[in-house]
Copies of this chain bind each other. A is one copy, B any other.
Amino acid sequence: MTDSARRRSRERLEERERIILEAATELFASAGFHATSTRKIAAAAGVSEGTVFHYFGSKNELMLAILDRFYNHTLNPRAAEILDTIMGTEDRLRELALHHVFSLTRNNALMMRLLQVYVGVDLEFIGQNQESPLRLLNRAYVGHLDRILREGAERGELRPDMELRPLRDVFFGTLEYGLRTHVYRHGTEGLEGYVDQLLNPLLQGLRKTAVDDPEPQATLERLDAVCTRLEETAKRLER
């Protein structure tokens, strides 16, 4: 076999893998994991059933491969890019939120259906193993948010007294829940604006506002000053 033939063959393999992966993604996304049979996936990909198993071993591994691909091809690269190219903490958060929401939404507009089962699949498939592939994937992705928050605190743009874990849950929990309700009602229309509305209360809670700290001091000083004036006035009146 010539080198170019080998290369062409490798390309064909990857091509096929991609086709199956995409067919499965679309079906899982639109009909759900349990409602999608391997037969349907094979038919949608235009290959035989055996081929699906040739490439992915089992339906669960296929699922895992989809998620892996989603994390490593879609979620993580742009998240890293955001960290590299945007410096302001609030801008970063907003951009990450939009990225997260639109990544879930794109890819057949229903990739989030996966996330709805992934906990379940994870539990059933991997058992109690704390280090399931899925958790590892997710941990890496979540790491980007962690970095934004840590750096935000270091730069004095965020309150320094916040814990990471709850913030993660607030961030992603809010976005995914909000995405769900919004898409139910209006589809993807107006999603960007809605993400801003979701972020508002969070950002409020995170901001190291100029007010919280220095003002009370100023207020006290001014009150002091007022007191002094009042005392002087009173002395004068006594005279």
Could you tell me the distance in whole angstroms from the C-beta of A171 to the nearest C-beta in chain B? 9
Is the CB of A230 closer than 8 A to any CB of chain B?
Answer: yes
Q: Which of A189-220 contact B (CB under 8 A)?
A: 194, 197-198, 200-206, 209-212, 215-216, 219-220
Q: Which of A20-69 contact B (CB under 8 A)?
A: 31-32, 34-35
Q: CB-CB < 8 A to A210: which residues of B?
A: 211-212, 215-216, 219
For chain A, what secondary structure do more than half of its interface residues adopt (helix, strand, loop), or is it mixed?
helix
Q: CB-CB < 8 A to A170: which residues of B?
A: 170, 174, 178, 198, 201-202
Could you tell me the distance in whole angstroms from the C-beta of A43 to the nearest C-beta in chain B? 15
Is the CB of A78 closer than 8 A to any CB of chain B?
Answer: no
Tell me how many residues of A have a C-beta within 8 Å of chain B: 61
- Bound complex: CA of A34 vs CA of B60, how far in Å? 14
User: What is the copy number of this chain in the assembly?
Assistant: 4
Are B227's CB and A226's CB within 8 A?
A: yes
Could you tell me the distance in whole angstroms from the C-beta of A232 to the nearest C-beta in chain B? 8
Q: Name A236's closest neighbour in chain B (CB-CB).
A: B234
- Bound complex: CA of A101 vs CA of B116, how far in Å? 18
Could you tell me the distance in whole angstroms from the C-beta of A2 to the nearest C-beta in chain B? 19
- Bound complex: CA of A1 vs CA of B166, how far in Å? 60
Which residue of B172, B209, B226 contacts A177 across the interface (Cβ within 8 Å)?
A: B172
- Bound complex: CA of A89 vs CA of B230, how far in Å? 36
Binding-face segment, A7-15, A79-87, A91-99, A117-125: A117-125
Are A166's CB and B178's CB within 8 A?
A: yes
List 18 extra interface pairs beyond A166-B200, A201-B202, A201-B206, CB under 8 A: A35-B124, A113-B120, A116-B120, A119-B180, A170-B170, A170-B174, A173-B173, A173-B178, A174-B174, A174-B177, A209-B211, A210-B212, A211-B215, A220-B223, A229-B230, A230-B230, A236-B238, A238-B239
